[in-house]
Amino acid sequence: MDFGSLFTNVVAEMIGPTAIAYALAAIGLNIHFGLTGLINMGQAGFMLLGAYGFAISTIAGWPVWAAVLVAIAAAVVFALLLGIPTLKLRGDYLAIVTIAAAEIIRIVGRSTSLSSFTGGSNGLLGNSFKESFSGASPFPDGRFSLGPFTYSMNDSNSWWLRIVGWALVALACLLVYLLMRSPWGRVLKGIREDEDAVRSLGKNVYGYKLQALVTGGVLGALGGIVFTLASSVQPDSLGRPVTFNTWTILLLGGAATVFGPVLGSLLFWGALILVRGLLRGLVPETILSTQQVEQAGWVLVGITLMLLIVFRPQGLLGDKKELAINVR
Amino acid sequence: MSADPQLAGSHALPEVAEARAALAALDQVPGVAKPDPMLVADGVQRTFGGVHAVDVAHLEVQRHVITALIGPNGAGKTTFFNLMTGFDKPDSGHWTFDGVSLAGVPASRVSRSGMVRTFQLTKALSRMTVLENMRLGAGSQPGERMLTALVRPLWVAREREITDKAMDLLARFKLDTKKDDFAGSLSGGQRKLLEMARALMSDPKLVMLDEPMAGVNPALTQSLLGHIIELRDEGTTVLFVEHDMHMVRHISDWVVVMAQGKVVAEGPPKQVMDDQAVIDAYLGAHHDTDLGDDSLLDEGGRIDAEADAESEAELEEPK
Ligand SMILES: Nc1ncnc2c1ncn2[C@@H]1O[C@H](COP(=O)(O)OP(=O)(O)OP(=O)(O)O)[C@@H](O)[C@H]1O
Ligand SMILES: [Mg+2]
C-alpha cells in the first residue's frame, strides 16, 4: 500500500473545508458548553440555517457580504427563539429544545412545499450560489499546486475557500481567547459553576446565557457556510450526526480551551481518513468491501475516541486539575 | 448594646452609634416600627404545599445595626431570605429596601441595588480560583459587557482596583495564601469565609448572611465576629441567620425570632433570649440546652463554649 499518498490524503482532509467547518462549529459549541455550561444539542441546526441563509440570499442575487449577514441574522434569531423560553429553566430544557429545533429546520428544509426556496430534499446545487464567493477572490483563476496538494484557486472546493476558512477559524480563536480572559468570560465561567451564586452577585445570568448562545450559534452558522461552499446545501448532510461529531470534536480537543476545538477537528477528520485508508490498504476486499470500510472507519474512530475520553476525560488540551476538582 | 463592650467598635460612625442607641427605646413586640428601617416587609407569605413556610405580617430591619434572625430548624428563615432577595416569589406581600419596592424584582437587580446575600449551603464556584471568585463579586466592571471585554485597556484599570480590594478582603478573612487555589479545594469553613468575603466585594448596603459561622474554626470565629462588627461600624447593615447563640449574643444589636413562618418575638439579645416564650418556641423539647449563657463567655470559658457551639453547628450543617 502507498503510505505516501495515504499521508497526503490525511493532511488534505485536515486542511480541507470539512475540518474548517467543524472547527468553527466546535468553537461555537465551546462558547456554549465549555465557557457557559449550556448544553446545545442542535449545533447542526445553526449550521444548516447558516447554509440556507447564505445560499438562498445569494441565489436571490444578494452580494456575498449581505448573504453572510443573512446567515448570521438567521442564527441570531434562531438562538433567541430557542433561548428566550428555555434559558430561565434548568439546563436540560435547552438540550431537549435544541435537538428538536435542529430537526425541525432540517425537516422543514427538505419539505416539498418549500422546494422553490430550499430545493426540497435535493437541496441547492453548489453551482447555483458559489459564483459570488469565488468572484470575491483577489487571486487569478486556474489551478494551483502547493506540494502534493492541487486545487483550483477560486472555484468550488478551492484554495480561496481554505484561506478564508482558516482565517475565520483564527479570528474565532482570537475572539474566544480575548473573551475567555476577560471579566465577561469570568461571568460565563461562574454561570457554568453555579448560576444562583452569580445571580446573587448581581449579574444578569439570563442575559449572559443569551449572549453566549447567540455568539456560539453564529460561529456554527459560519461553519455551515464553509461546509456548504465546498459542496452543496443538503439538509440531510447537516443532521443530528453532525451535532454529535461536533460534540466529539470539542471533548476530544478539550472544552474550555482556546485551541481544543481546532485540534479536535484536525485529529477527528485526519484519523477518519487514516483509518479508512489503512483498512482499504491492509484488509483484502473479500473481507471488507469498500462500503464496509466506510462504516468500519467510523466504528474505529468511535472506539478510539471512547478510549480517549475514558483515559483523558479533560480532552487533549484540557486542564486535568480543573477537571479533578470534585464538585461538592 | 452588644454584650461584649470591647468588641463594640470605638471608631463607629456617629450614625451607627445613634441607630444602635435608638433601639433601646423600642417596644419589644413582633413587628415593631424602627426609627430608620432599611428593609420593611409587609404581609409576606409563602406556602409549600400546605406548609406556611413564611407568614410575616410586618417586619422592619433597622439601618446601621446588626440584626440576628433566629428560630428552630424549618422556621422559614432561609425562605424569608430567598423571598427578600428575589430567589423565590411569595404568594402575597410586598417589601421595600431602602425605600424602594422590590416585589417582583429579579435577584440580580436586588443584589445590584445593594442587598447581597450568602447561602446556607455554600455556593463557592468550585472550578474557579479563590481570587476569581472574589473578582466576580465586584460591581461596575465595564469588562463584563461583551464588546468592552474585547478591548483590554477599557477594563484593566478597574480590574486592578478590584484585585486590590479582593486581596484586602482575602487577607482579612485569612484566605490570601489560598488566592490561586481552586475554590473547590477549600474546606467547608473556608468556603463559608470565601462566600462572605465575595459578598462584600460590591460594598453592599445590607448584607444578609445565612449561617455564616456554620463549620468555621472557633479560633477564627472570634476575629470574624470582629469583622462583622467592623462592617457595621463602617456603615453596613447586617442581617444574619445563626444557630450559634453565643455569636448572636455577642454581636447582634437586635434579635428577631421566627417560628413556623411567623415572627414571634423581637428585641435586644439579652431580653429576647431570657424570654420564656422564645425559649419554648426555639428549643421545643430541649429545655436543658444552653442558649448562650453569658457566664460561659468569661475568659477561659470562652474557647470551650465556642468549641461546643462549633461542634453543634457542624452536626447541623449537612442538612
Ligand atoms: N423548595 C421547597 N419546597 C418545599 N418545601 C420547602 C422548600 N423550601 C423550604 N421548604 C419548607 O419550608 C419550611 C421553612 O424552611 P427554611 O429552609 O426556610 O427553614 P430555616 O428556618 O432556614 O431552617 P434551618 O434553620 O434548618 O436552615 C420548612 O418546613 C421546609 O421544609
Ligand atoms: Mg435555613
Residue A224 lies in a domain: yes
pLDDT at A73: 98
Tell me chain A's radius of gyration from C-alpha atoms: 20
Pocket test for ligand 1, best of B45, B46, B48, B82 (most atoms within 8 A of CB): B48
Percent of chain A with pLDDT over 70: 98
Answer whether residue A217 is part of any domain.
yes
Enter the C-alpha cell of residue A253. Answer: 480537543
Residue A283: CA count within 13 A, CB half-sphere:
17
Stretch A214-241: mean pLDDT, rounded?
Answer: 95
Measured between beta carbons, the chain B residues lying within 8 angstroms of A190 are 125, 128, 136
Contact A145, A203 (CB under 8 A): no
d(CA A230, CA A228): 5
Nearest ligand 1 atom to alpha carbon B120: 27
CB atoms within 10 A of CB A241: 12
Q: Is B48 in the pocket of ligand 1 (CB under 6 A)?
A: yes
State whether B150 and A322 contact (CB < 8 Å): no
Tell me the pLDDT tens digit for each residue of A240-271.
999 999 999 999 999 999 999 999 999 999 99
Q: Which residue of B has its CA nearest to A319?
A: B127
Phi, psi angles (nearest 5°) of residue A52: -60, -45
H/E stretch holding B309 reads helix B301-316
Q: Where are the alpha helices (DSSP H) in chain A?
A: 3-15, 17-29, 36, 43-59, 64-86, 91-109, 115-118, 131-135, 159-180, 183-193, 195-200, 205-230, 240-253, 260-282, 290-311, 320-324
3-state secondary structure of B183: helix
**pLDDT tier for residue B27 given thresholds of 50, 70 and 90:** confident
A187: closest chain B residue by CA: B136
Band (pLDDT 50/70/90 cuts) for residue B21 is: confident
Disruptive mutation site among A31, A175, A187, A193 for chain B (greatest number of B CBs within 10 Å): A193
Pairing of β B66-70 and β B254-259? parallel
Mean pLDDT, range B150-171, rounded to an integer: 96
User: Please, what are the domains in chain B?
Assistant: 14-124+204-316 (3.40.50.300), 128-185 (no CATH)
Which residues in chain B have Cβ-Cβ distances shorter than 8 Å to A327?
126-127, 184
The answer for residues whose C-beta is within 8 angstroms of residue B214's C-beta and 6 or more apart is B120, B192, B243, B244, B313, B314, B316, B317
d(CA A83, CA A123) in angstroms, rounded, equals: 28
CB neighbours of residue A264 within 10 Å: 32
- Atom index in ligand 1 nearest the CA of residue B75 equals 21
- B136 and A200 in contact by Cβ < 8 A? no
Partner-chain contact B107 A325, CB within 8 Å: no
Q: Which of A201, A208, A209, A319 to mutate to test the interface with B (most CBs of B within 10 A)?
A: A201
Q: Is A234 on the interface with B (CB under 8 A)?
A: no
CB-based contacts of A42, cutoff 8 Å, min separation 6: A82, A97, A98, A99, A100, A101, A102, A103, A243
Question: CA-CA distance, B117 to A138, in Å (whole number)?
Answer: 59
Residue A132 maps to a domain: yes
Q: Do A197 and B124 touch (CB under 8 A)?
A: yes
Provide the shortest C-alpha distance from residue A323 to chain B (in Å): 8
Q: Dihedral of CA B243/B246/B247/B248: which sign?
A: positive
**Å between A185 CA and nearest CA of chain B:** 8
Instruction: Kindly state the cell numbers that stand for A17.
Output: 473545508
Quick one: pLDDT at residue B218?
A: 82
Flag whether A287 is in a domain: no
Give me the long-range contacts of A303-308 (CB less than 8 A, separation at least 24).
A304/A271, A305/A248, A305/A252, A305/A268, A308/A252
Cβ of B53 closer than 6 Å to ligand 1, yes or no, is: yes
Confidence band, pLDDT 50/70/90 cuts, at residue B290: low
Give me the pLDDT at residue B295, please: 45
In a domain? residue A66: yes
Q: Mean pLDDT score of chain A, rounded to an integer? A: 92
Lowest mean pLDDT segment, chosen from A32-36, A308-312, B3-7, B243-247: B3-7
Furthest CA-CA distance within chain A: 66
Q: How far apart are CA B214 and CA B156, in angstroms?
A: 36
Could you tell me if residue A251 is inside a domain?
A: no
* Cα B149 from Cα B113, distance rounded (Å): 23
Q: Is B218:B306 a contact under the CB 8 Å cutoff?
A: yes
Task: Tell me which amino acid residue A172 is.
Answer: A
Atom of ligand 1 lying closest to residue B261 CA: 14
Confidence of residue A283 (pLDDT cuts 50, 70, 90): confident
Q: Please give the residue range of the domain that contains residue A45.
A: 3-239
Average pLDDT over residues B275-293: 62
Using CA atoms, how far apart are residues B295 and B292, in angstroms rounded to an integer?
A: 9
Residue A18 near residue A24, CB atoms below 8 Å: no
**pLDDT, tens digit, 9 for 90 and up, residues B93-119:** 999 999 999 999 999 999 999 999 999
How far, in Å, CA of A197 to CA of A186, rounded? 13
Locate B79 and state its grid cell. Answer: 425562605
Nearest CA in chain B to A198: B136
- What's the pLDDT tens digit per position in A125-182? 988 899 899 989 999 888 898 989 989 888 888 999 999 999 999 999 999 999 999 9
* pLDDT, mean of residues A281-291: 86
Give the B-side interface with A, CB within 8 Å: 85, 87, 106-109, 111-112, 116-119, 123-128, 132, 135-137, 139, 141, 143-146, 148-150, 152, 155, 159, 182, 184-185, 195, 198-199, 201-202
Mean pLDDT, rounded, for B11-33: 86
Instruction: Assess whether the C-beta atom of B261 lies below 6 angstroms from ligand 1.
Output: no
Protein residues placing their CB within 5 Å of the ion ligand 2: B 78, 120
Helix H segments across B200-275? 218-233, 245-251, 269-274
**What is the average per-residue pLDDT within B17-25?**
87
Over residues A64-98, the pLDDT tens digits come to: 999 999 999 999 999 999 999 999 887 889 999 99
Mean pLDDT, residues B120-145 taken together: 94
Evaluate if residue A189 carries a pLDDT over 70. Answer: yes
Give the rounded percent of residues in chain B with a pLDDT score beyond 90: 57
- Cα(B319)–Cα(B306) distance, rounded to whole angstroms? 21
C-alpha to C-alpha distances, B61 to B34, B180, B189, nearest whole angstrom:
7, 38, 28
Please list, residue by residue across B221-258, b when 16 or more beta carbons sit within 10 angstroms of its beta carbon and e when fewer do. beebbebbbebbbeebbbbbbbbbbbbbbbbbbbbbbb
CA of B202 to the centre of ligand 1 (A): 28
> Best residue in B146, B152, B205 to probe A by mutation, most A CBs within 10 Å?
B146
Instruction: Flag if B127 and A325 touch (Cβ within 8 Å).
Output: yes
User: For residue B184, what is the DSSP state?
Assistant: G
Residue carrying the nine cell digits 435544541: A98
DSSP A117-137: HH-GGG-B-GGGTSHHHHHT-
pLDDT, residue B302, reads 44
Give the pLDDT score at A324: 54
CA distances in angstroms from A278 to A75, A148, A268, A271, A303, listed in the order given: 39, 20, 15, 10, 16
Radius of gyration, CA atoms only, chain B: 19
How far away, in angstroms, is B81 Cα from ligand 1 center? 11
Atom 28, ligand 1: which residue's CA is nearest?
B74
Residue nearest to atom 9 of ligand 1 (CA): B79
pLDDT for residue B303 is more than 70: no
Contact B87 A196 (CB under 8 A): yes
Atom of ligand 1 nearest to the CA of B88: 1
A198 touches chain B (CB under 8 A): yes
Question: Cell 486581596 identifies what position?
Answer: B167
In this predicted structure, what is the pLDDT of residue B223?
A: 79
Between B312 and B187, residue with greater pLDDT: B187
The fraction of chain A above a pLDDT of 90, given in percent, is 67
Q: What angle do CA A322, A325, A327 make, to 5 degrees?
A: 120
- Ligand 2 centroid to B89 CA: how many Å? 17
What local confidence, expressed as pLDDT, does residue A69 receive?
98
Dihedrals phi, psi of A147, to nearest 5 degrees: 60, -135
Nearest residue CA, atom 14 of ligand 1? B76
Confidence of residue B300 (pLDDT cuts 50, 70, 90): very low
- Which residue's C-alpha comes closest to atom 22 of ligand 1? B78
Structural domains counted in chain A: 1
The mean pLDDT of chain B is 85
- Best residue of B123, B129, B205 to probe chain A, by most A CBs closer than 10 Å: B123
Q: What is the ipTM of this complex?
A: 0.87
SS3 assignment, position A65:
helix
Band (A285; pLDDT cuts 50, 70, 90): confident
A246 within some domain: no
* Nearest C-alpha neighbor of B242 from the set B306, B173, B170: B306
Please report whether residue A281 resides in a domain.
no
Q: Residue B259 and residue A45: Cα distance in Å, rounded? A: 53
Q: How far is CA A71 from the centre of its chain?
A: 15
Higher pLDDT, B306 or B73: B73
Give the number of the atom of ligand 1 that is nearest the alpha carbon of residue B46: 12
For the cut 50, the answer to whether the pLDDT of residue B2 exceeds it is no
Minimum-distance CB partner of B202 among A202, A215, A322: A202
CA of B68 to the centre of ligand 1 (A): 18
